[in-house]
């Protein structure tokens, strides 16, 4: 059937002429509740240090992060995603500081839980911010990641987060078997209520550059292409997602977002679990730089980028623009 018939008299533009018509017929919507705000935590008091490659994004001490949480609650943002940024002398070969009951993230979880119980608290579960070598786990003698040893540490990390009061553990290291290991550990430790948001589909992306400045997590040698996905692969994303669902994750994530909208759509069509997307640091920094140069209108371009991620099929979006976008949406 030829759907386009010039003689039909149909003019799609008639449905776009009036602002009320456009609002009424809009197919997808953004809400503040769609957003999760990443938060970079550092030790100290009253610390709020801007990240040079991410203008407008800061590292926060816990007291400063609490102010940020207050802003998130006031705007209706759903949750925060916590990353610990450690000083060099606190790092070691295994990232043991990450499962310290009095660690930076654990103390932040308790403080946010006490002050803002309405906010969803998600904690990133990985080791690149905690290891001296900057890789996402324990390394073997050859410098490759030892996944079995890393899984044991992931279990320790997840339990410590749960005992601090986290709502969601979000493993991001692309360790085979990570979801099953964490689920078993949480259930055995009597934390069945804690959800797992798996970074099921995480590509080895060039768009992570500014994050590595923010989290001080650049690998000291090599790269992460041995465990993160090849950006050229599409079918592999479904296999990764299927494995994590079989292992018991509650939500799946695609990271980054902008260059992987087809992958978000694929996952949306193939599973009924919530699908989240992470608008990563490089996406943020590009939009900021273009807007500061006067080449793009920041508000319009950010909202359009977020709407594109939502239209692709994402249920929620992790974005550094969470507070600003919530303001713009009113």
Tokens found for residue 65: 């992060």
Eight-state DSSP code of residue 229: B
Short-list 252, 303, 247, 295, CA closest to 273: 252
Q: Confirm or deny that 48 is annotated as ligand binding.
A: no
Q: Confirm or deny that 320 is annotated as ligand binding.
A: yes
310 is annotated as an active-site residue: no
Q: Confirm or deny that 240 is annotated as ligand binding.
A: yes
Q: Confirm or deny that 249 is annotated as ligand binding.
A: no
Q: Confirm or deny that 212 is annotated as ligand binding.
A: yes
Q: Confirm or deny that 271 is annotated as ligand binding.
A: no
Beta strands at 54-60 and 120-125: parallel, antiparallel or unpaired? unpaired
Q: Confirm or deny that 116 is annotated as ligand binding.
A: no
Which candidate in 91, 225, 255, 310 is catalytic?
255
Q: How remote is the C-alpha of 82 from its chain's centroid?
A: 9
Instruction: Give dist(CA 25, CA 211) in Å, integer.
Output: 38
Interhelix angle 235-247/261-270, rounded to 10 degrees, is: 50
CB 37 within 8 A of CB 72: yes
Which candidate in 91, 202, 225, 310 is catalytic?
202
Instruction: Give dist(CA 35, CA 54) in Å, integer.
Output: 18
CB 160 within 8 A of CB 99: yes
Q: Confirm or deny that 90 is annotated as ligand binding.
A: no
202 is annotated as an active-site residue: yes
* CA angle, 120 then 283 then 58, to 5°: 55
Binding residues for Mg(2+): 240
Active site residues: 202, 255
Binding residues: 126, 128, 136, 212, 224, 240, 281, 320
Binding residues for 5-aminolevulinate: 212, 224, 281, 320
Binding residues for Zn(2+): 126, 128, 136
């Amino acid at each position: 059937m030829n759907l386009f018939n010039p003689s039909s008299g149909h003019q799609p533009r008639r449905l776009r002429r009036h602002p009320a018509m456009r609002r009424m017929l809009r197919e997808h919507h953004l809400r503040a509740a769609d957003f999760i705000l990443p938060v970079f935590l550092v030790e100290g008091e009253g610390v709020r240090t801007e990240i040079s490659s991410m203008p407008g994004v800061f590292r926060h001490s816990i007291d400063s992060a609490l102010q940020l949480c207050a802003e998130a609650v006031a705007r209706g943002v759903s949750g925060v995603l916590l990353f610990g940024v450690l000083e060099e002398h606190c790092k070691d070969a295994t990232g043991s500081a990450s499962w310290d009951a009095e660690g930076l993230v654990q103390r932040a979880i308790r403080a946010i839980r006490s002050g803002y119980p309405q906010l969803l608290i998600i904690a990133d579960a990985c080791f690149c911010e905690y290891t001296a070598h900057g890789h996402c786990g324990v390394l073997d003698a050859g410098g490759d990641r030892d996944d079995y040893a890393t899984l044991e540490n992931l279990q320790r990390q997840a339990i410590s987060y749960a005992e601090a009061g986290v709502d969601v553990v979000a493993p991001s290291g692309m360790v085979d078997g990570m979801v099953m290991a964490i689920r078993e550990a949480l259930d055995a430790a009597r934390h069945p209520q804690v959800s797992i948001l798996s970074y099921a589909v995480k590509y080895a992306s060039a768009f992570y550059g500014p994050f590595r400045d923010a989290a001080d997590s650049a690998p000291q040698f090599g790269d992460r292409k041995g465990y993160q996905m090849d950006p050229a692969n599409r079918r592999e994303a479904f296999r990764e997602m299927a494995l994590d669902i079989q292992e018991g994750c509650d939500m799946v994530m695609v990271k980054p977002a902008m260059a992987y909208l087809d992958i978000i759509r694929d996952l949306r069509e193939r599973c009924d679990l919530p699908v989240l997307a992470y608008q990563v640091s490089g996406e943020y920094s590009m939009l900021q730089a273009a807007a500061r140069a006067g080449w793009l209108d920041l508000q319009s371009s950010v909202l359009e980028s977020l709407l594109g991620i939502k239209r692709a099929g994402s249920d929620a979006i992790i974005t550094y623009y969470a507070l600003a976008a919530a303001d713009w949406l009113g």
